[in-house]
Structure 1
């Protein structure tokens, strides 16, 4: 399982890039805080100054207990975002306060991950991307003696499928970490995309076979799964190819039987 905070982080930080609605709402309220700092001529700001501030410094202002909860909420946001303001100026953007910069200040930050470009490659099928993301985060719900290291690295069944894939594509990559191996290789963008797509397909089918074995007690032979991997990869290549394909890429795709 992955926490909601991590799910809402950018893909470069290992998340899904989903926007955190609570943090976004706080950032939206931050716009009102910015108006009080920087737009004294707005009618709403003039009203705030007359009714609430009454000449007090906005940075140091604290609401009394008998004021409305809406106004107190705005003041709480002011305190929460205090590090972004300095002498009435917004530090995160030279043009002034924006929702995006306010959201960046509020949201929880995580370390950048090295695998996001391989997982979220445009060549990969979305459902394969999602399973690949869970694998990279070691967040698949596994039971019994299974763990991510065994299922995708040391398991003889998985290693055989990955070895077969390397032979099919005529490339070399470490079975223990194929994504990193391909990322470090010198390939054309098209070739790298096809290889990453094929690895993503393979991981998906390894997970699927493990699930079917647990739920239905059925496990396909590696030879059968290999044909399914090739079929899915070939179908993805067919949907992605354009007219302007380089000669060497064309020759490689023909040599590995991914195009006719």
Structure 2
């Protein structure tokens, strides 16, 4: 499983680019904090000054215990955004406070990742992209993880049974996975490496069209290896690699036709 904080981080940081509703709500309330600083002529701000602030310094102000829940929430947001202010000036954006800049301050940040440009390339099918995202994050529920949790009886690979089922093994070292990539290489008349498939597909192949097609093929291959792993777990059988390569060819062809039709 992927934590909600990681899911709500930008794609450049390994997330899905979904807005964190709680942080976005804080950023929206931050607009009211900004109005109290810089919009004294607003009717609502005049009312706040008359009822609550009564001439007090807004930056140092703290509400008393008998005040309304809504006003206390605004004051809590003011404290949450305090690091973005200095002498009433918003430090993050010279133009002043915006919800986007407030959101960037309160959300949880992660280190940038290099693989996002390959996973979210705009050519692949969404289901391939999602599984590729989990693979790049190494967050699939593989046997090593399940065995450590006491769920699985063993940690051996379900496709070859020769080593513990990790992300590196399943998509780079497993004999079944290598046979699938070998069939893909024959289909493309290319020598496919045994590791770093996404980096290989996204670099050094000339035109953007060829890179896009190769990324589609690699992502589809990842997806189908994962599906065969699940098929082995549920049904106890898997398809031959040459049949998988035919499925990949059909799916990539249909996906690219859809992309070109939309353009």
TM-score over 0.5 for the pair? yes
| Matches of 1:53 and 1:233, distance apart in 2 | 63
SS in 1 for 2:96: coil
| Matches of 1:171 and 1:71, distance apart in 2 | 65
1:125 maps to 125
Is contact 2:203-2:211 (8 Å) kept? Answer: no
Q: TM-score, normalised by structure 2?
A: 0.89
| Matches of 1:242 and 1:139, distance apart in 2 | 34
The answer as to 2:46 corresponding to 1:46 is yes
Is contact 2:202-2:214 (8 Å) kept? Answer: no
Q: Deviations over 1:109-162 (max 9, x none)?
A: 000011001001111000110000011111111223221111101001101111
| Matches of 2:231 and 2:122, distance apart in 1 | 28
C-alpha deviation, 1:175, in angstroms: 2.1
| Matches of 2:71 and 2:257, distance apart in 1 | 57
| Matches of 1:242 and 1:185, distance apart in 2 | 27
Identify which range, 139-148 or 162-171, moves more after superposition. 162-171
SS in 2 for 1:213: helix
| Matches of 1:154 and 1:60, distance apart in 2 | 60
1:250 maps to none
SS in 1 for 2:222: helix
Is contact 2:183-2:242 (8 Å) kept? Answer: no
| Matches of 1:89 and 1:5, distance apart in 2 | 29
2:29 maps to 29
Aligned residues: 244
Across the aligned residues of Structure 1 and Structure 2, the Cα RMSD in angstroms comes to: 1.6
| Matches of 2:194 and 2:181, distance apart in 1 | 6
Give runs of aligned pairs for residues 221-260 of structure 1, distance below 5 A.
221-241=240-260
Is contact 2:181-2:192 (8 Å) kept? Answer: no
The answer as to 2:213 corresponding to 1:197 is no
